[in-house]
Structure 1
Amino acid sequence: MDTIGILEKAKLEGWTDEEVIERVKAGDTALYEIVMRRYNQRLYRVARAILHDDAEAEDVMQDAYVRAYQHLSQFAGRAPFSAWLTRIAVNEALARLRSRSRTGQLEEAEQEGEFFMTMAETSPDPEQGASRAELGHLLEEAVLGLPQQFRAVVILRDVEELTTSETAVALDLSEENVKVRLHRGHALLRGWLFNRVGAEAKNAFPFMGVRCDRVVHSVLLRLANLSSDKPQIH
């Protein structure tokens, strides 16, 4: 069976990470693509949360995948492969962060990137789409504004929906420490969002743009119909 056929078979049969890794270790190296596609988004999110840089986050992802591949023999299965892989990516990102600090280049610059919060699948009109985009940027800005020790916990628990124990393994923390950091992160997010949104309260519930045009157009059409239906008085 060719590589594409094997990848399709793995997808259809729902191979677990551990099943895929065992086959990779046995020589089916092409199957490593499966785990990369499964965890690209998670690794990108956690690396970017630590580094605040899209390009560096992608570099970290590549380095993490290569390092994990080179050390597959060390994966003992005591923790999920996903947590083991995430831990490698976190270590790579933290190493880059320390390197930045040593060279005096540690900056918390804002970068544009993918939204961290997944919206419900709908078919929004342009105005709704713009509102969701603005909300996504606001949430991303809030998360990236957290101190580093809270950012990764919030992303893994709230965005990637890892359990407390999985997050603890990925970040090399105790479960109690994960709970404390998540609680403090949530408190900081609430304060930041309240201050930010409070300043914009006067702009809440806008009625303009497409919706405004739509209502005006509909009313004018109805008025025109009323005029045409009005009986003529002689």
Structure 2
Amino acid sequence: MKLYNKYCEGMYYVAKRFITDSYEAEDAMQEAFVKAFEKLHQFNGEVTFGAWLKRIVINKCLDKLKAKKMELIALNEQVMGTVEEDENWSIEDGIGIEEVKNKMEQLPEKYKYPLMLFLLEGYDHEEIAEILNITKVASRTLVHRGKKKLQEALKNLRHGTGY
């Protein structure tokens, strides 16, 4: 119970970023805790317990989304090619985190989830590829395109044209 009490609120907010319905997010978080407790013997201390649990919560959320026929689109790598990382990516001053999150929520799913994992959760492309069952090239491409779409949506927000 100590572990649950320590992490339940934070893990709920992680789940809520992926599943907007609060009951479904809580359900995913609860199922993730059950899975984590069943697999506790597999926790080897390589990462913090919180990071390990967070990964389980995210995977459970993605499983639930897939189960609802909201599958991520598999992309043809030959069409995508490679993408250069845009290290100078930025948004205008005065745009708050809530505005960024709201605009990110409106992105197509194929961009939203990789971008959330990259920008909000801090995962790298190798981890994103593993979590979403895509390649690192696909992760880079989806994150890059998602950033461009998000940046455009935020630019429109400031110039009054909406999204």
Measured against the shorter chain, the TM-score band is 0.5 to 0.7
Q: Out of 145, 150, 159, which is 1:184 matched to? A: 145
**Within 5 A, what are the aligned runs for 1:125-136?**
135-136=96-97
Partner of 2:10: 41
User: How many residues end up aligned between the 2 structures?
Assistant: 139
Matched to 1:188, the amino acid is K
- CA positional deviation for 1:181: 1.6
What's the CA shift string for 1:32-72, capped at 9, x where partnerless? 348726xx536633x33432222321221111111111122
Superposition TM-score, scaled by structure 2 size = 0.63
Partner of 1:58: 26
Does the C-alpha gap of structure 1 residues 137 and 77 become closer, same or farther in structure 2, counting only changes over 3 Å? closer
User: Larger radius of gyration, structure 1 or 2?
Assistant: 1
What's the CA shift string for 1:118-145, capped at 9, x where partnerless? xxxxxxxxxxxxxx8x834322210111
Matched to 2:3, the amino acid is Y
Partner of 1:32: 3
Superposition TM-score, scaled by structure 1 size = 0.47
- CA positional deviation for 1:185: 0.9
Listed as ranges, the gaps of 5+ residues in structure 1 are: 1-29, 103-131, 202-234
Indicate whether 1:90 and 2:61 are aligned.
no
Percent identity between the two aligned chains:
27
Listed as ranges, the gaps of 5+ residues in structure 2 are: 71-93
- Structure having the higher helix fraction is 1
- CA positional deviation for 1:83: 5.6
Q: Out of 145, 148, 158, which is 2:109 matched to? A: 148
Distance 2:131 2:6 in 1: 16
Structure 1, 70-79 or 170-179: larger mean CA deviation: 70-79
What's the CA shift string for 1:149-191, capped at 9, x where partnerless? 3223222221232333344444444333322221111011012
Distance 1:138 1:51 in 2: 18
